[in-house]
Structure 1
């Protein structure tokens, strides 16, 4: 079966749309977004707001960053959102051109979506604001709820599980917007 180049064009276009390639700032959720959104960006910001709930008696697991061949990946959360935005701006200055960024929430959770929105908001504050609709919605979730972030993190499913496991201080620390410069 022969497939002409024009037959393949809709598939490539669909991939580009799913990857939000028209936009500089892109957003996705979960590991699947690494392929659809992350692989097509120049840099990737992996956002994981809270550690996984530990099993009884075990220490909290360290954050494991995903890897994408040829795409620089950094971790960010509420505490480091501005630092991540500054790093992104530095990448753009070094490139001497517009650099695309995929902001990926580690999981489809309240806390990761809010933290990803916080990163996108910080990017916009640094002039990196040609955002996909997906990124704009994540950003709006943060800006609209910024004053309630601490409560939302502790009241979320993962937050309540951390509190029940005796890790309330982890949530308090994770809620500190720009607390790590």
Structure 2
């Protein structure tokens, strides 16, 4: 007698190769994936992408201080055994190429979860993750770049993010600076950081999580 199949949730996106969700809760909702791309554009993914050029960046208390959500998502994804990459607007094409290379190495279709870190209201650590336009666009940039490489069996959620990026690509710089997260950084005097985070494919670097630290792939 054959064993019964594991139950499938309507929300786990297991039917699709490329999936997209929000925060740690979204990561848990999705079916386990071979590769998890964590997108926290302002500021974790973008800052670590620049920093790993000078050496590994530990996933420690300082990393959690930089990001309310991105570091926590990466840490949880790593415990699940996935290959964990950081994606952002600056390295979207490089991340997609790294995923394509991983699929070639495996010799089979590789599942990808693109997780938008989202944002929590300052001072409300237990608040739900809010929609962050910069992460939606960053995830869309990665998903679009995957599609260019024929990794395009996307869930509706992933397809919507990809289309949002394609449709708004020319307005990315304005949208990042005008977003809530962008305005928060501008108030701190970090305008240059926001500007750099909006540079599409400005970096060939892909941070990968290994032994509790991110290093350049």
Output the TM-score relative to the length of structure 2.
0.71
Name the structure 2 match of 1:95: 106
3-state SS in 1 of match to 2:90: helix
Name the structure 2 match of 1:20: 13
Name the structure 1 match of 2:163: 140
Alpha-carbon distance in 2 for matches of 1:51, 1:34:
19
Output the TM-score relative to the length of structure 1.
0.85
Alpha-carbon distance in 2 for matches of 1:68, 1:18:
22
The two structures, once aligned, show a CA RMSD in angstroms of 1.8
1:40 is aligned to 2:45: no
The runs of at least 4 aligned residues of structure 1 exceeding 6 Å deviation read: none
Alpha-carbon distance in 2 for matches of 1:13, 1:95:
25
Name the structure 2 match of 1:177: 200
Q: In the TM superposition, what is the alpha-carbon distance from 1:100 to its structure 2 partner?
A: 0.6
Alpha-carbon distance in 1 for matches of 2:191, 2:181:
11
Deviates more, 1:28-37 or 1:117-126: 28-37
1:61 paired residue among 51, 56, 66: 66
Structure with greater proportional helix content: 1
Name the structure 2 match of 1:76: 87
Alpha-carbon distance in 2 for matches of 1:103, 1:88:
11
Cα deviation 1:124-145 (Å, max 9, x = unaligned) = 0111000000000011110000
Cα deviation 1:28-50 (Å, max 9, x = unaligned) = 0111112112x511110001111
Q: What does 1:103-114 align with in structure 2 at a 5 Å threshold?
A: 103-107=114-118, 108-114=131-137
Name the structure 1 match of 2:176: 153
3-state SS in 1 of match to 2:163: helix
Cα deviation 1:145-164 (Å, max 9, x = unaligned) = 00000000000001011001
Alpha-carbon distance in 1 for matches of 2:80, 2:153:
25
